[in-house]
Structures are given as structure tokens and as C-alpha cells.
A and B are shown apart, each in its own frame.
Chain A
Amino acid sequence: MKYTIGIDLGSTTTKAVVLNEDSVVMGRGITNSRSNYEVACQVAMSEALINTRFSLLRNELKSEGLSEVELDRWVSELERRFRAEQYRSQLTVLTRELNRFAGRMLIGGAALRAAVGRITGLMAAEVEDLYAEGTRRKSDFFRDLAGGRYMKLAETESRGHGVGYDQVVGLFDKSILDVENSAEAAGRFKDHMAAAVCAAGAADGVLGQAVSRVASRELEQIGSVGTGYGRQRLPFPEGQIKSEILCHGLGAHAMFPLTRTVLDIGGQDTKAIQVDDQGIVTSFQMNDRCAAGCGRYLGYIADEMNLGLHELGPVACQSDSPVRINSTCTVFAGAELRERLSLGEKQEDILAGLHRAIILRAMSLIARSGGISNQFTFTGGVAKNPAAVRALRDLLTEHYGDLDINISDDSIYTGALGAALFALRDRRRSAGAPAIH
């Protein structure tokens, strides 16, 4: 299969999207951006390619005449088992690294190694349950999943065995970087899939055969474009780097062809983009040098409130009387929060006010970029936050009346999708084929 890939290297996460020659999305991959952009890029790419092979597998099985219900069941079981294998192999690396770092300790190394041994032993034993059918995982990232469990177990260890909690945690912080930078993080389709098929007891049947056909399919990259905040650091030639503004515009157009105004709130910046009926950007505005009102600001608020970033929105949604907050200045946010809490204002009301303040800033940016034309598409990490979405809907309705507001579950991939489309378009142009519309 020939494919193009688009990579969006954001400040928080790196996303990759794989397109086949018919502009159909075949695979998506996402990972933490971490400090090593090149590795993040590799991981996202191979995730997207693994995901692509799952799509191919679906297509194979479909042509075998499987019903949708069967398809879903089979593929999701395989995927679950595949992820468990992937997790296991990363856990192996983690265990090795933890031991290596513990071994370097001059004092207390033995106790630490013993503790690490008990923790990782327990974690290894839990993999089956973690990926059992119907289990909800709070994240797809190994760092979050393994980290959360590790911290819990480290607490028990520090209580029961007299090992310093900080020491145990410190080991994890060092080791996880190596795990994320290892080849295991990228995943190995063939090996993990083989194990998954075995575990599912389906090696010899239709499924096994389809898997081995898909595993041996050659995937040929015919184009790639990189974008995003860190795009200059991507291992792409200059001509294959595109501004995230253009990629977001085209990506949003591809998802919702009637889109005319796009709002993207990411970790580091906020963008308001106007596109024409071809997805071509006609004007744009970005937030000024101050990062107030971006995803980072929410992260800061979450830290101040001792909440997870993903908990902010749901908590804020419980409010029925949001407080008025005028400043989204990150510098003053902490003081303002503490003052309001000390005045007895409810956490959910403050949070709801903060979300509204963020969206207010975004609304100004949209106005700067030329206003709002139907349809309106909201993308970026903050589009996953229900309180931000609610505030946006309220404010749009108040100021612009009834609008079609598009929010895709895959909105985080908008920039990468646009990049992959640009790659395909460049390919077609150089091959003399008409440009895609």
C-alpha cells in the first residue's frame, strides 16, 4: 500500500496520520512530545502505521465476509491483546532500567532493588487484568498507565518496607525517559501481533491467515509533511514542512467540508483561522506572546487545584453559577484561585468561570481574524474539555446566533491530517495528477 503521512509535533503531544492514495485515513498515532522530538516523531509514526495495519486487517476480514459485529469483536479483541503485548514489552524495558539505576545507588541500593522487584513483579502480573475485556484505561500512554500504578505501589512500599518514597519515584522518572526513547515504545507489529493472535487462540483460522497477510504487506511511503509547534525540529527536508495554520485549515476542511472558521486551542497557543470552500486559509490570528488562555494555562490551574487535567472540565460542568473571572493571566492565576477559594467560592464555580474566561479570549481572537462564518469547527486538545465546549457553545449562541459547531472525536489529529493531505497533494502535483479538493 502506498501512503502519505502527516506529523504534527505539538508542545504536549505528537500526532501522526496515515492516508492512502484515495485520501482515506488509514491510521493515527499519538504520543507525548517529551524532550526528544525525533523520538516522539518516530513513536507517533509507528503507532500510526500499526494502526494502519489494523485498518488493513479490518478490510481483509471484511472481504472474507465477516459481519460488522464479528469484525468489531475480533478486531477489538486483537487490538486489546496487542496493546497488552506492547505494554508488557515496555514494562520489560522499564524493569531493566529501574534495576540499572537502582544498581548505581551507593547506599540502600539493595533495598531499592528489592522494592523495584516487588513493584514491577506486581505490575507484570496485572497486565492481563489491565487489558481484560471491558476494562477502562485512563490513558493510552504507557507513561500514564504504568506511572499511575507504579506511584500507588511505591506508596505501599515506602510504608511497608522503609524505602524512601521519593527515591522510588525518582527512579521511575529517570527510567521512563529511556523507555520512551526505546524501540519498544514504537511497538513491533509482527511480534506483538503474533503473540496477540496466539493469545486469542486464533493462529490457524481465518483471522490468523488475514493477520499474516497484513503483516507481510509492504507499506510504501510516497510523501510526508511535518507541522506543528516543533516542526523546525522534525527530520524533514524544508519543502516538507508546513505551517500548522495551513495544516489545521486543510485538516478541518477535510473533516467538515463546510467549515469556514476554525478555532484551535492547543497547549502552547490559540489559533483562529478562516478558510475558503477549498480549505485554503484566507486569514488567521494567533494569541500574542503571552500564553494566557491556552492549554498550558489549564494545566497550571489543574496543578493549583490538585486535579488531573482531564478532571477540570467535568468538575467545571457541575457548576450552575460560574463566577466572573476577568484575568486569564497565568502569573496571577494561582493567587486569584486561592483568594476565591478562601472567600468560600465553590471549586466548580471558579473552574467554570475560568473556562469561560479562556473561551472569551479565544472569541476575541476569532473576531480579530475576521469574525465567524458558518460552519464553525473547534479543534485542539482543549476541544476535548467539556466545560470549554459548553462555554464556547454558550458564547457563540449569545453573540452569533445559531451556528453549526463541529467537534470531531479525532480533532486532536486535525493538523496531522492536513499535513498528510498536503503531502498527498504535493505528490499528485509532482506526478501531474489534479490536486485534491
Chain B
Amino acid sequence: MTRAPDLPALFDRADGLYRDYKLGAVRAWKARTGGLAIGYMPIYIPCELLHAQGVLPVGLMGARDDLEIIKGDAYYQSYICHIPRSTIELGLNGNIDCLDGLIFPAICDVIRNLSGIWQTLFPDKLVRYLDVPQNFSPDIGGRFYRHELETLCAEMAGRGARPYDPEALSASIALYNRLRRLVRDLYALRQEAPWKVPTSELYIMLRATLVLPVEEAIDLLEEYHACVEAADDRQPLDQARVLLTGSFCEQPPIGLIRTLERSGCYIVDDDFVQVHRWIKSDIPVEGDPLNNLVQAFLSDAIASSTRYIDQGVKGAELLDRVRISGAEGVLFCAPSFCDPALLDQPMMVRAVETTKTPWTAFKYSENTGQFQVIREQAGTFADSIKLWSEA
């Protein structure tokens, strides 16, 4: 079976979804189904819950680099990151008015406070600050989180979504397990053969899944997987294998990812679009599904910078990822003014240094327009890794 010829068309479709500020796909879905669509900010929400009540979850991750920010800048001082500006710009421009609500998971003070702005700007929409526990004991944090989720379910139902139904949730979990597995497989394939799965392409695919119903997202990724597996024309180059970390909320412009690849790096693991990787393995579909969602959050989630690392050592998971991905170096690539990433960085650097893994660091914002410095920095980094590995 040769699927390779379909790849350009597939990519174009994904790229179109990624570039569509107006969320045309979401509007079409709503027109077709009459259902509610609710957006969510980075990094993670349990999309299953929305899906089970017939709601389309829509991931918002800022506005790339080509949206002119006027209104958004009126809300933020120069020392605050970029993603809340573009989110406000999209909101006030009416670009995302097809969303019936927006969920703000607890990841940092900026996103938290954005939820308050949203409450006053859009009083008719569902606006939910989804507090997540930093205590990971089932009886304490688990109980609190479950209550947060139940509140969300009730609010959605209050706006016309189907009421909470455990059977429907179990089915949704199963679907999302499939999606998560597909993403994990693609990440594994990229680790094995990064020339077949360029990150700049995989990234666009993942972004596209954020605006699609999970069923279509699964189709898209399955098709993509088949395409890249068959892409025999893609041949390995002498590039350095790097792990990129810190870009979990505000996303870099696609030009930055391409710049890294062109300057000699194969990105073999990253923090982009973590929503489908937040839970590391399949969530059980037997038993109380809401409990299963809660338990997965408590005990099977990634060691994000936005979480308190209770048991265990800071940076241990990063070292595991370096090992598993076979990365030869680490790129600390955080948005300017991102508190969680930047406050974590000294600890992560120290962890990486214990294994003598080379690293370098730079910052971006989603609308960074020039990559010259990063190109030089990443190029030098990749070259030095290659020299090192030859020596």
C-alpha cells in the first residue's frame, strides 16, 4: 500500500486547520450537529468529559505569528508573555465566537487571571477556571478534582449539553485512548526515524487535531502515520538528535521549529501540544469512569513544570525522556516571561548536567519574527554535538 502521494494533501488540510483563526471546522461541526463547542487553554483538560456530553472540545494555543495584536496589547504590560494577548485579540475580534465557553486549566497566574478577564468580557459564555490539585493523594486531591470535574459536567449540562452519563464517558475514554496511542506511536516513530517524521510536520498534525472531533482526529493521525511510514523517499541526514523542552503553553512560530530542523537538529522529543500526551498510558475503561479520569491525572500524568513534584526528584522524568528518545542534547526553549518553564529551568539544567548531556537555552514568543540568532545558536549546538559524538 503506498499512501505517500497523499501526504502533501493531508498536510495542506492540517495546515489549513492550523491557520484558520475563525475555526471554520468548528463552525461546520456546530452547524452539522447543533452541539456545543467549548474551548480550552493549554495544557490539559480531560476532553473525554466534554465528548461524553456531546460537546466538542477545541484546543486554543494562541494565534501564531501573523495576527496583528492591538486590543490584546491593551490588556497586558510588556513583561507578560504573549499568549493571553492573542487569545484576547481572537476573542474581541469575534474570531472564536463560535465557542460556547472557554476552560482555563490551572497552570499559572497569567492564564488564571485571564479567566477573570474572560468572565467580564464574555459574561454570556461558560467560563470555567478548572482548578487542578497539587496534592496527589486520591482521598484529598482526588476528591477535590472529582468535584471540579462534576461541577464542569453540571455547567455544561446547564447550557444544553447532554447530562453526565458514565457509560458515555467510558466510551469516550476508549476513543481518546486510541488518539493518545496514535500520538505516542507517532512520537515513537519519530524517535526511531526522525527523518520520516519531521517535527514541523508532526506539529501541524497535532495542532489540527485540536479543532477536530476526536473521531476525525484519529482518522487524520492514522492516515498521517501510514503516509510517513511509507515515505521511503525520506532519507536520514547527519543531524543531531535533540530533545526540546519548555514550550508547553505558548507555542513557538512554525518558522522557529523549521529553523531548528534546518540548522541541523532532529527534534526527537518535545513539549508541544501536550494535551494528548498528558496522561502517559491508557486510562482504564472498566469501573467508574470519572474516577479513572481522576486517578490518571493523579498518578499517570507527565511531570509538567506546572505541577508540584511531590514524590521523586525534579528533572528525573526529563532524564528518562532523554534516555528513551536517544537525544544527544537538550534545547531549553521557553516562551519569554513563562514563569513555570523559566523557574524550573535551573533545576532542569542541573539535572541534565548530572549526565553530562549538552544543552543550550533560548526564548521566543509566539510572534517572534527573526530566527537568525536562534539559527546560529542551534546550528553551533548541533555541530558541537556531532563533533562530540565523532570524537
Contacts and interface: CB of A to CB of B under 8 A. Distances in A.
Whether the complex brings A and B within 8 Å at their CB atoms is answered yes
A395 B70 CA distance: 10
Contacts of B373: 335
A315 interface: no
A375 interface: no
Contacts of B68: 360
B69 A360 contact: yes
Interface string B65-83: 1101111111001100000
A288 B369 contact: no
Contact of B70 (A288, A326, A327, A360): A360
Contacts, number: 44
A364 B72 CA distance: 8
A288 B77 contact: yes
A326 B372 contact: no
A354 to B, nearest CB: 11
A325 B65 CA distance: 10
Contact of B367 (A326, A340, A368): A326
Contacts of B370: 327, 332, 335-336, 339-340
B69 A364 contact: yes
A339 B374 CA distance: 13
Contacts of B72: 364
A361 interface: yes
B70 A363 contact: yes
Nearest to A289: B78
Contacts of A367: 70-71, 73-74
A290 B78 contact: yes
A288 B73 CA distance: 12
Contacts of B200: none
B368 interface: yes
A118 interface: no
A336 B77 CA distance: 23
Interface in A313-330: 324-327
A288 B65 contact: no
A325 to B, nearest CB: 6
Contact of A324 (B70, B77, B78, B369): B369
Contact of B372 (A339, A361, A363, A368): A339
Interface in B61-105: 65-66, 68-74, 77-78
A363 B71 CA distance: 8
A399 interface: yes
Nearest to B65: A326
A364 B70 contact: yes
Given A288-B77, A288-B78, A290-B78, A325 B369 contact: yes
A37 to B, nearest CB: 29
Nearest to A365: B74
A315 to B, nearest CB: 21
A348 to B, nearest CB: 18
A351 to B, nearest CB: 15
Contacts of A364: 69-74
Given A288-B78, A290-B78, A326-B65, A336 B70 contact: no
B19 to A, nearest CB: 14
A153 B370 CA distance: 42
B79 to A, nearest CB: 8
A290 B77 CA distance: 11
Nearest to A366: B74
Interface string B361-391: 0000001111011000000000000000000
Given A288-B78, A290-B78, A324-B369, A399 B70 contact: yes
Nearest to B92: A367
Interface string A172-196: 0000000000000000000000000
Interface string A347-370: 000000000000011011111100
Interface centre among A290, A335, A364 (most CB of B within 10 A): A364
Given A324-B66, A364-B69, A336 B369 contact: yes
Nearest to A364: B73
Given A327-B370, A335-B372, 12 more contacts: A288-B77, A324-B66, A326-B65, A326-B367, A327-B369, A339-B370, A363-B70, A364-B71, A364-B73, A366-B74, A395-B70, A399-B70
Interface of B: 65-66, 68-74, 77-78, 367-370, 372-373
